Structure 1
């Protein structure tokens, strides 16, 4: 059976497992890039090293934002085109995606290297933390193209129905990073620079693997030279569909910068380190949700394009259930073992462990409902409705959370506790908004089909 046709014919539950499990493994492995760096740096360099990575993280999120803009935007369109049996158009989109990924990554790298100190200070670096952040990011920025190509084009592999290869891409890079980190940090004594170098080498290997897949004749979609000449309408569609995750990531970068500055003001460098560890733990829990989304996206997109709406709804339902189970298990672990989780990153800093454990319990108190919110927002992206997807994505990281971070610390002199309470306020509010819009969308899905629905994205 054609790898793409299975999306519209095989049992949905089996398809979701087939696509999601490799994606979950891949996303977890991808998360290990930052988590492993922080664990080894925390134990080999200290809490200030963790703070340095945390300060540089907003710029890394910006890089990922552009990779998502192009990579996920292209992937959604590729899935829809394959569902419509328009393979040549899917190949044009894939070629455009590759060129855009390389070009934007190169620009970001140059800009970041030129303005590295002002950017890190803008992101909340104190005089003490700035040298650590500079040493790490100066090396990371040289590998921006590898990160963008490895992550962005890996989504193309999944869109054409080959999730195992996509998983291997992630595994290769993360396993190599895990091996190189202790070698460079402890054996070669390169400190935080060693962690950055290990990450860049690993990303480069992943990028080479992806390019070999497409140019080595193994792929369903072919990257052809004739399709590399950029056409503005194609670029516009890619950016429109990818705008939701792009905006979400930019918002995450802005949020990270605001939180870092607020943490420095209310809690000092140890609070920045604690939030860095909290982000790592959260990432490990949420990455399976993003993997479920990646697994569901081509199934939803293909069947939406093929107007098989029962399969669309079934996929969405199963994805929400799976995501809720994952975050609920994560919630239980966090509430029972918060100090032990923080200690993985630095066993010697008792102040960090105490503050980090309290932060985990408060900031993630509504974690069990976040799986629904993330999957619900992804649904609108998968069916080519970027405005609704963007609104729901931004509701959690901008519309509610940023005002909460800025306002709550000043109410009743809550200070650092106000920053921690902003998390559950945002999680609850954004989940309610997602429930309302998703209910309305599903209610009218069959009606749209009866009225003569066109699968081309309508930019609603």
Structure 2
């Protein structure tokens, strides 16, 4: 079946308002990501109610480590979405089903390997981050349990990517909402009722992944029939093309946790209170800017379908409208953070230096996220145009040249707040040039077609 204009029935994004597609997909994607980030935020919120800053700081160290594995999952999700969406855009549903199935298998297996590798070097990683004493022990204990849930998380994220590629973004949202709802119910039971504290939070982190998997499976199989019977030949056939997109995307996404780890290590020089403040900020900003984080994966389906359909006018429009959405979104979130600073400090029982760090971030560092947003828009274009290596270069440039010297400036100025500000400013050096190159890449690909 096709639409009247000749587009394949599943290719919902090659027709209609591009900006509407961008807003709709990003809104749904951001709600899904907010649900994922809410899991960590709720854990931290309940842990902070225990009244121990060491436990709050430990969650900050744990978050930095888990973000590495999450980034691998995001990378595979981007690869699966782009690879599947191209088949949908070209009208080959059978190939899309085969690619989707192979992508899920590869995503789970690869993330399991990464999780095992990270577990093997966990102690030295925590030491490099600056964790010591009781902070080290609590973080280590939490991670040994929580890391068991990371491969299932990556699988559910890949499922969401397939659903997005097939034009069913609402089902992607339900995957993540199911996990968040399970967290809200189970956290008080395990942390307080069963008196398990940090151990309870870690157990819940694992359990909710399987809730998300159940919802994802329902959307893919009974609802959409989006998966084919898995075969070894199919996996072998698809692993190369999938990794061609996913591997650079993984390297790209690993840049963010690498940058966060560097910031954590620098902030740790200013004591436990500084790490506790950064831990709270590290949970707040992904939640607040979930729309920007979701943009790369969400609009990837729009880019992918239109590239597959050779609609480069709409590819350019997707880049422009995504940039406009980013600017509006960051401005709105900055205003909300300014208005809600006191509420955030109250919710996390933040006082003294911890509260000062949060207030500083909301006022000065948050608006600079527009440059990171520009980089994410460019990433989405690069990943779906066949220039995924560009994303890798720009993101690692930001994570190294845009982080190390700038954080040193913050240390030289003598405060954790200065570290945060200079780290945020470093993103500007890479976001805008990346956006410019993305536009040039679209023009070059259109000319060659």
Asked whether the two chains share a fold, i.e. TM above 0.5, the reply is yes
Aligned residue pairs, count: 443
1:26 and 1:199 map into 2 onto residues whose CA distance is: 16
- Listed as ranges, the gaps of 5+ residues in structure 1 are 454-460
2:140 and 2:294 map into 1 onto residues whose CA distance is: 31
Mapped contact 1:3–1:162 kept (Cα < 8 A)? no
1:249 maps to 2:253: yes
Runs of 4+ in 1 over 6 A off after TM superposition: none
- Listed as ranges, the gaps of 5+ residues in structure 2 are none
Q: What's the CA shift string for 1:61-115, capped at 9, x where partnerless? A: 2211221232211211111122122333323322221221221233234344444
2:435 and 2:16 map into 1 onto residues whose CA distance is: 28
Give 1:24-423 correspondences, 5 Å limit. Answer: 24-214=30-220, 216-226=221-231, 230-231=235-236, 234-265=238-269, 267-347=270-350, 349-405=351-407, 407-409=408-410, 411=412, 413-423=413-423
Mapped contact 1:82–1:90 kept (Cα < 8 A)? yes
Mapped contact 1:278–1:360 kept (Cα < 8 A)? no
Alpha carbons of 1:175 and 1:138: their partners in 2 closer, same or farther (altered >3 Å)?
same
1:97 and 1:392 map into 2 onto residues whose CA distance is: 26
1:112 and 1:173 map into 2 onto residues whose CA distance is: 24
TM-score (norm 1): 0.89
2:228 and 2:348 map into 1 onto residues whose CA distance is: 42
Mapped contact 2:266–2:411 kept (Cα < 8 A)? no
Partner SS state of residue 155, structure 1: helix
Q: Aligned-pair RMSD on alpha carbons?
A: 2.4
Alpha carbons of 1:76 and 1:47: their partners in 2 closer, same or farther (altered >3 Å)?
same
2:356 and 2:275 map into 1 onto residues whose CA distance is: 14
Partner SS state of residue 129, structure 1: helix
Alpha carbons of 1:3 and 1:288: their partners in 2 closer, same or farther (altered >3 Å)?
farther
Alpha carbons of 1:282 and 1:131: their partners in 2 closer, same or farther (altered >3 Å)?
same
1:228 and 1:168 map into 2 onto residues whose CA distance is: 32
Alpha carbons of 1:420 and 1:14: their partners in 2 closer, same or farther (altered >3 Å)?
closer
| 1:52 shift after superposition | 0.7
2:47 and 2:256 map into 1 onto residues whose CA distance is: 23
1:52 and 1:317 map into 2 onto residues whose CA distance is: 41
Partner SS state of residue 223, structure 2: coil
| 1:221 shift after superposition | 2.3
Mapped contact 2:273–2:354 kept (Cα < 8 A)? yes
2:47 and 2:75 map into 1 onto residues whose CA distance is: 30
Mapped contact 1:95–1:227 kept (Cα < 8 A)? no
TM-score (norm 2): 0.91
Mapped contact 2:256–2:395 kept (Cα < 8 A)? no
1:65 and 1:44 map into 2 onto residues whose CA distance is: 29
